[in-house]
């Protein structure tokens, strides 16, 4: 089945977690390419400020506040977007939080991070996917992370949630393909966002948020399942997934010692 690559004339784009970072930059990039972009996050004032920043672009940005941890709230947001602006043709499920630099891991941290980074993805996904199913077309992209490829020191909560998001997309791709929906997995590496500010460990191939957003939107237009940004880091980590445990753990222990 030929899966669609949605265009601005097909409807509106919807981005969760759009108040800052990758979500905000992707919203601006899509608006620059002519899309009407509905942006969602908890902070309405940040979304409205983002919308004002797109006033001179070919497309536009409109604010619809919501919390991805609230399943009914996400259904209400998609109802409002479609009733006001038209069908959601492209959804970028991007909302995510970090576990906190230097914070000791505990059950509460895992619950909070997984609640946003994995369950928030699922609640947003199931708010929009039935609408696309009914239309027989649509495009959904989920922002996971290259961190989700394999266990890394100090990333138990964040990495586990992102690994879950990767598995979720791999599994749901079959359902989406059968319904005529293109499901894409976005796996960024290190991008200059509030999440990477102040980090003391090495961040190879670090990209500006504008360049990262451009590459992500290029991936929306190109199609294919996985969008990796940057590709060089992705290939290194893909090779690392093939290493046997003793070799991998030895390499990561050495990395953690040098970064500590």
Give tens-digit pLDDT for 170-195: 999 999 999 999 999 999 998 986 66
Task: Please state which architecture CATH assigns to domain 9-259.
Answer: 3-Layer(aba) Sandwich (3.40)
Statement: residue 206 has pLDDT above 80: yes
Using 50, 70 and 90 to split pLDDT, how confident is the model at 2? confident
In the predicted model, what is the mean pLDDT of residues 149-166? 95
Using 50, 70 and 90 to split pLDDT, how confident is the model at 222? very high
Q: Where are the domains of the chain?
A: 9-259
| Interacting residues of 7 by C-beta distance below 8 A, sequence separation 6+ | 89
In the predicted model, what is the mean pLDDT of residues 52-76? 98
Tokens of 144: 């996971």
24, 50 in Cβ contact below 8 A? yes
84, 5 in Cβ contact below 8 A? no
Catalytic residues: 158
Statement: residue 67 has pLDDT above 80: yes
In the predicted model, what is the mean pLDDT of residues 217-236? 95
257 against 83, higher pLDDT: 83
Statement: residue 249 has pLDDT above 60: yes
Mapped onto helix, strand or coil, the DSSP state of residue 36 is strand
Statement: residue 103 has pLDDT above 90: no
Q: How confident is the model over 110-135, as pLDDT tens digits?
A: 999 999 999 999 999 999 999 999 99
How many CA atoms are closer than 13 Å to the CA of 143, on its beta-carbon side? 28
In the predicted model, what is the mean pLDDT of residues 216-234? 96
Identify the bridge partners of residue 36 per DSSP, sorted by sequence position.
Answer: 60
Note the pLDDT of residue 105. 87
Statement: residue 256 has pLDDT above 90: no
Please state, rounded to an integer, the average pLDDT across all residues of the chain: 93
Going by C-alpha positions, the residue among 54, 122, 49 that lies closest to residue 91 is: 122
Note the pLDDT of residue 260. 55
Statement: residue 154 has pLDDT above 90: no
């Amino acid at each position: 089945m030929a899966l669609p690559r949605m265009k601005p004339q097909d409807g509106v784009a919807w981005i969760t977690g759009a108040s800052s970072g990758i979500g905000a930059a992707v919203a601006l990039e899509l608006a620059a390419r002519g899309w009407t972009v509905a942006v969602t996050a908890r902070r309405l004032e940040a979304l409205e400020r983002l919308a004002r920043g797109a006033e001179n672009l070919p497309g536009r940005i409109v604010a619809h506040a919501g919390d991805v941890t609230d399943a009914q709230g996400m259904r209400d947001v998609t109802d409002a977007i479609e009733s006001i602006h038209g069908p959601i043709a492209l959804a970028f499920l991007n909302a995510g939080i970090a576990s906190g630099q230097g914070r000791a891991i505990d059950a509460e941290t895992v619950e909070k991070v997984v609640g946003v980074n994995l369950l928030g993805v699922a609640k947003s996904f199931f708010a929009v996917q039935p609408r696309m199913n009914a239309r027989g077309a649509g495009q959904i992209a989920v922002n996971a992370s290259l961190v989700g490829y394999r266990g890394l020191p100090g990333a138990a909560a964040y990495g586990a949630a992102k690994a879950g998001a990767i598995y979720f997309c791999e599994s749901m791709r079959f359902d989406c393909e059968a319904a005529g929906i293109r499901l894409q997995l976005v796996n960024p590496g290190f991008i200059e966002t509030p999440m990477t500010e102040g980090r003391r460990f090495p961040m190879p191939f670090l990209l500006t948020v504008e360049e990262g957003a451009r590459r992500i939107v290029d991936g929306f237009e190109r199609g294919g399942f996985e969008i990796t940004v940057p590709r060089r880091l992705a290939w290194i980590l893909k090779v690392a997934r093939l290493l046997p445990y003793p070799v991998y753990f030895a390499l990561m222990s050495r990395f953690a010692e040098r970064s500590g």
